[in-house]
Amino acid sequence: MKKILFVGFLLLFSFTGFLVWAGYLMEIEDRYGDLQAVYFESEEGDLVLDNLGSKVGIAHFDDRDFLVIEGQKSAYIEEWLTMKNGYRFDLTVLSDENCADCQKLTYRELSEKVKNATAKNIRNFRN
């Protein structure tokens, strides 16, 4: 009898954990949509380049919110991005530990670094 209760409790616990995990993934999908790959593959402190709006920001995560800090302002990623036709975006994320001065570079200088492939850990996101 104890074995049946243990297996039943284990199954119930596993199923509940699966539901919580699936709910978390659905919340991220609902919130970010096509930007969910950016959410999952970016890390705190990464440089974010908006190639349509020629902007540079720093990725910041606050609980489940993905914020971009540009100068003294911070905004949610979906508000910060320049969307073309309401849903098209072109985004580059750099996480280069060897480039300590990258945060001081302008968009033009960073995009040249990306084109010349001198920066490491470059991820492009387009829709």
106 versus 67: the higher-pLDDT residue is 67
What residue type is assigned to position 118 of the chain?
A: T
Q: What percent of the chain has pLDDT over 70?
A: 91
Q: How far is the first Cα of the chain from the last one, in angstroms, to the nearest whole number? A: 55
The confidence band for 19, taking pLDDT boundaries of 50, 70 and 90, is very high
pLDDT on residue 8: 94
The confidence band for 117, taking pLDDT boundaries of 50, 70 and 90, is low
- Domain ranges, ordered by start, for the chain: 2-126
pLDDT at 121 over 80: no
pLDDT on residue 97: 67
Mean of pLDDT values over 9-22: 96
Mean of pLDDT values over 93-117: 76
How far apart CA 63 and CA 88 sit, in angstroms, is 26
Predicted TM-score of the model (pTM): 0.77
How far apart CA 41 and CA 35 sit, in angstroms, is 10
